[in-house]
Amino acid sequence: MSRGHPHDFPAAAREALADAQLRANLRGATQTIRARRATAVAELPDFEELREQARRVKDDALGRLDELLDEFQAAAEAAGARVHRAPDAAAANDIVAGIARDHGVTELVKMKSLATDEIGLDAALATAGVEAVETDLAELIVQLAGDTASHILVPAVHYSRGQVRDLFQRTIAQGRELSDDPHELAEVSRLYLRERFLRARMGVIGANVGVAETGTVCVVENEGNGRMCTTLPPLLVTVMGIEKVLPTLEDLGLLLRLLPRSATGERMSSYVSLLTGVMPGDGPQEYHIVLLDNGRRNVLADPVGRQALRCIRCSACLNVCPVYSRVGGHAYGSIYPGPIGAILTPQLWGMEEHAKLPFASSLCGACADVCPVGIDIPEVLLHLRARAVREQAPAPEKALFAAAAWAFGSPRSFDAAQKAGRAAEAPLSRGGLIRRLPAPLAGWTKGRDLRPVARETFREWWTRERGGETP
Amino acid sequence: MTAAVELFVRRLEGLKTEVCRVAASGVAAAVAGACAARGIGRLGVPPGLPAEWRPAGVHVVEDHDLAPAELDALGAALTGCTLAIAETGSLVLAAGPADGRRALSLVPDAYLCVVREDQVEPDLPAAMLRIAGLIREQGRPVVFVSGPSATSDIELQRVEGVHGPRQLVVLLVS
């Protein structure tokens, strides 16, 4: 995810806001999915209790992550899987490319997986001479367009049906006329992918949950492309973030009650697969699991920020966010956009490059209200803002806040600052408001007006009315 | 009919799944009827499928490690299941003798599943207790099937039938 220079969220957001089609696509999609989620969650009488349980289960697991990863590895290997540990993206890509190379595989089928998007696996495989075919409809759209995902759950949410039709006509329909009916467009992708599924010799998937006690990997999906990937090829690879591990199958059951309802607003996704090693005569006979760190231990080291690792990637926080639902996912410059991305991305891959993301929020708190694992996103946003200021603030800003600290430090300095302010701002005030501050302070008034210091402050009024009495 | 079975039927119908309620002795005839209505000539079944469920008048193909292309040439698959979940309208396949290989219930375009009423668990936690035993003791692969394959990836409009079976029929045996 490193691009070598700081990501400029405000600039990217301005660009996105100028795209009327994008704003219309996003508005429609986020409103629809919000309503579906609200209905599905309201149906659970004990949602609050369930999410409190889920919060505790995830925190417990993160608190003894190494122990659980060892347990997961031992159980998965006992069931016939091979487990690899990848400290970073390059190591994970090498492992997967190496497995393909060892088996002479040049084409493989992929299930939608954020972990593999995060490490840029498709590009790394292409370099190694292996074509990775994305089989989730939205991922296929994004791949064919040479684009990147803009939503955790619905990666092509920024496309309208007309845009998908145009794209498919140009690519997989080979010039054939198509309508913009989603049924017809889905059918085109079904036909295109079916022959690839039937001939596939290797599948690559992510993981929604890993279960330590049995070494089980759980994947959740609706289209059936995941079942194709996990069942038909003789060789299967899972790339799983280390934070996905939970202690027991009962814990998995708990998360499965929360995830589909929070994500798509369904009681259960169409297909949930629980894969435990290798089953002779059924499905892949060789199974590799790559446990991916790639910055996760950095997050774990921060006592406030680590709660971001509870995330189960449901994307409910994106859909309710007033910022995300207007600017979309690309503005965040990360595979993890929206409120969760604003706290996850800088922690995973460094404040230097992503220092502006914790500020990409109005702190309205809607994200925390819907989070099924109780991540207090505003708390972490504020914590990261403080870190960004400590680690990143330019010298003039630091000087300014030092001056403010002095001014607020005693009644006498406060009085003096008010008097000085009144004199300095006089030429700027128009009709009782300051609409534009000069150069170094101009950023403050770009999005808001400033009230000038009162002609007579409360303290001055008190002194005039009550003589020398202290208020 | 218990409350759980009643809820299960309601959920299946909400998931665009056809439900046929049959007596134990009527499964084969109901399967034959469902195949005839859909013009299905070749029906894939697991070798462990009970004999009394196999329909007459349809070419029944036992799945002895059929290749993907052979599965693709079937009109439908017929299996049993390990249990079902009322709360979510889910069928749970756990590699039991009548459940078949996972590929069998996936590749053909129509999928028929026989569920006995006494297999219906009220909710996910109850189902998980039984599934957990099969995974812990035997490492069984498990699939939950809740409705036909679907996508909402284009403007969030739900489309039934993408890569998995487009039609799902549950034969509920009382």
Tens of pLDDT, residue by residue over B114-147, are: 999 999 999 999 999 999 999 999 999 999 999 9
Angstrom distance (rounded) from CA A55 to CA A70: 22
Which residue of chain A is at minimal alpha-carbon distance from B153? Answer: A138
- Partners of A154 on chain B (C-beta within 8 Å) are 152-153, 156
Contact between B172 and B9 (Cβ < 8 Å): yes
Q: State mean pLDDT over B10-38.
A: 96
Angstrom distance (rounded) from CA B97 to CA B76: 18
The tokens of A313 are what?
A: 């990637």
What pLDDT score does B16 carry?
Answer: 92
CA B58 to chain centre: 18
The beta-carbon neighbor of A279 closest among B139, B146, B163 is: B139
The mean predicted confidence, pLDDT, of chain A is 93
Show the DSSP H helices in A171-217 as ranges: 182-199
Distance (Å) from the alpha carbon of B153 to chain A's nearest alpha carbon = 6
Which of A173, A115, A111 has the alpha carbon at shortest distance from A136? A111
Superfamily of domain A44-145+183-294: NagB/RpiA/CoA transferase-like (3.40.50.10420)
Show the DSSP H helices in A393-430 as ranges: 395-407, 411-425
- Partners of A268 on chain B (C-beta within 8 Å) are 85, 88-90, 124, 144, 146
Return left, alpha or beta for A83; rule: phi > 0 is left, psi -120 to 50 is alpha, else beta.
beta
CA dihedral (A119, A121, A122, A124) positive or negative: positive
What pLDDT score does A2 carry?
Answer: 44
Level-2 CATH architecture, domain B3-173: 3-Layer(aba) Sandwich (3.40)
Q: Inter-chain contact A227–B163, Cβ cutoff 8 Å?
A: yes
Judged by a CB distance cut-off of 8 A, whether residue B128 touches chain A is yes
Angstrom distance (rounded) from CA A35 to CA A26: 14
Query: What are A229-276's pLDDT values in tens digits?
Result: 999 999 999 999 999 999 999 999 999 999 999 999 999 999 999 999
Residue position matching structure tokens 């220079």 = A5
- Partners of A79 on chain B (C-beta within 8 Å) are 139
Q: Inter-chain contact A231–B102, Cβ cutoff 8 Å?
A: yes
Q: State mean pLDDT over A36-52.
A: 94
Q: Inter-chain contact B148–A253, Cβ cutoff 8 Å?
A: no
Q: What percent of chain A has pLDDT over 70?
A: 98
Angstrom distance (rounded) from CA A453 to CA B144: 65
- Partners of A179 on chain B (C-beta within 8 Å) are none
Residue position matching structure tokens 């599905």 = A40
Distance (Å) from the alpha carbon of A195 to chain B's nearest alpha carbon = 9
Contact between B138 and A219 (Cβ < 8 Å): no
Per-domain boundaries in chain A:
44-145+183-294, 407-466
What pLDDT score does A443 carry?
Answer: 79
Residue position matching structure tokens 């003039």 = A396
Tell whether the model's pLDDT for residue A78 goes beyond 60: yes
Backbone angles phi, psi at A189, to 5 degrees: -70, -35
Q: How confident is the model at residue A4 (pLDDT cuts 50, 70, 90)?
A: low
A-B CB pairs within 8 A amount to: 176
The mean predicted confidence, pLDDT, of chain B is 96
Contact between A277 and A83 (Cβ < 8 Å): no
Q: Which has more pLDDT, A408 or A447?
A: A408
Which residues of chain B from 53 to 82 reach within 8 Å of chain A, CB to CB?
65, 68-69, 72
The beta-carbon neighbor of A264 closest among B135, B149, B152 is: B152
One-letter identity of residue A59 = D
Q: Inter-chain contact B151–A281, Cβ cutoff 8 Å?
A: no
What pLDDT score does A326 carry?
Answer: 94
Q: How confident is the model at residue A1 (pLDDT cuts 50, 70, 90)?
A: very low
Query: What are A341-386's pLDDT values in tens digits?
Result: 999 999 999 888 998 999 999 999 999 999 999 999 999 999 999 9
Q: Inter-chain contact A137–B165, Cβ cutoff 8 Å?
A: no
Per-domain boundaries in chain B:
3-173
The tokens of A295 are what?
A: 């910055």
Which residue of chain B is at minimal alpha-carbon distance from A227? Answer: B106
pTM: predicted TM-score of the whole model, two decimal places: 0.91
Which residues of chain B from 98 to 117 reach within 8 Å of chain A, CB to CB?
101-103, 106-107
The beta-carbon neighbor of B135 closest among A190, A216, A228 is: A216
Is ipTM strictly over 0.90? yes
The beta-carbon neighbor of B159 closest among A29, A183, A232 is: A183
A61: buried, middle or exposed (CB in 10 Å: 19+, 13-18, 0-12)? buried
Which of A353, A360, A311 has the alpha carbon at shortest distance from A54? A311
Tell whether the model's pLDDT for residue A279 goes beyond 90: yes
